[in-house]
Structure 1
């Protein structure tokens, strides 16, 4: 085993996610190469930093419903390891208990192997390497990057959440002829407005979508955005929205309209009054 493989295993060990075979290999490598112990410390530090950067939140009620829906779909085989004796209810793991709001006692159990996901193609080693890269960011101190910044949600998502949490939150939805569904969200108390799209075609190469507040038939530029591969986007409108504004979207050159006025007819319009 080389040092790089050991560093990957050290992260897996810190996450308590190694298979029995990998755990043995890790312990043997550490015993034979005690000077590699700095990887162990680095891995522990990164796992602790990631944990500290995530604030605990109260799970929504839908989590409980989703959990029991998942349980009801499990095979009801009495020989299944998910059952115990005459207890016909599936055993819940720690995450399930957390979703239910319970505080389980940590059971003593053997470390089990974590297999790769057929959907994603990412096995444990790939995830360990990803976590190790976060450790490198912390250890090497690249710029002013922190773990909390790495995991920070996009500004548009934060703005949308703030709008939805506001007591005066409002929204309006429009469906375009091409199937694009656009929903405008706004809140006067927060002073923010966000457009959420679904099914929006990708613009041509060198083009982008530009947002506009249309106020008394006068368009006011409000930023640009591009949807993802599924046509989804969450974009903050820059500037102050006024009551009765129409939110419009045009196709413009990358960077937005050169003269600050729309160069094409709107492909999306959402009336807010």
Structure 2
């Protein structure tokens, strides 16, 4: 058995489709050629990817079409049909080659001289071709799903990243106040991380041409910490600048873009003491 024939059997073994005879040949060849174990391992890994690929992510139709086209174009050995089993010698095609033996030269079925080829039929080549294409499909689907997950991970808002850093810190602190409209606002901060994040739930969307602005209030001196948007009554905002011990966190309604003077122009709608 050559390596190509073994690779065909290895693909069938990975998919658990070998007959008992092919399984015996597969095991015997592996014992004779232990260096072919790498083929077995690679096919087992590919089969594992196929098993883990779920149907929740549909591959592009073009890939499926290409796979079916490849199956159709790949040569396949003929397999005798049920009608062929009882066909008589008289119905067999007549060989026209001048070198073909005559009927008298062919040993009868009961003759001891009947030739017998001990070499079993070679496995069909299309099995490995389909296996390889299917494995590639699984990789493409897996890469697609992984790319989406990676993209989501890399494009997380800075406020979400900061909030996770704060919550993971050993000195994380938070304070919550109720809003007039029934919502809540929670300030999260950590001295070791050096960041503060405001999370609001049920906060009204500002009127057109207006925005919310954040402030660190140190004594009587407000320090602007940036503006933020509201999405469906929710907001997660990272305060710009450094928070100092004892700072209160406040929110005012300002014109779009923030206060033009650098100081609050309205009374605060949120005030969260942190000390």
> Structure 2-normalised TM-score?
0.51
Give structure 1 stretches of 5+ with no counterpart. 1-13, 54-133, 135-146
1:180-195 alignment to 2 at 5 Å?
180-195=183-198
1:46–1:221 distance in 2 versus 1, CA, 3 Å: farther
Question: Equivalent of 2:166, from 163, 166, 184?
Answer: 163
1:194-243 residue CA offsets vs partner (Å, 9 max, x unmatched)? 111010000011211100001111110001111211x1111111111111
1:15–1:220 distance in 2 versus 1, CA, 3 Å: same
Identify the residue that residue 17 of structure 1 maps to in structure 2. 55
1:1-273 alignment to 2 at 5 Å?
16-17=54-55, 27=64, 30-32=67-69, 44-45=139-140, 47-48=142-143, 50-51=145-146, 148-152=150-154, 153-229=156-232, 231-273=233-275
1:47–1:255 distance in 2 versus 1, CA, 3 Å: farther
Measured in 2, the distance between the counterparts of 1:264 and 1:223 equals 15
Give structure 2 stretches of 5+ with no counterpart. 1-51, 72-132
Measured in 2, the distance between the counterparts of 1:253 and 1:212 equals 15
Measured in 2, the distance between the counterparts of 1:260 and 1:215 equals 15
The answer (yes or no) to whether the contact 2:211–2:255 under 8 Å persists in 1 is yes
Shift of 1:151: 3.6
Shift of 1:15: 5.1
Aligned-residue CA RMSD (Å): 3.6
1:192–1:27 distance in 2 versus 1, CA, 3 Å: closer
1:42–1:252 distance in 2 versus 1, CA, 3 Å: farther
- Please say which structure displays the higher CA radius of gyration: 2
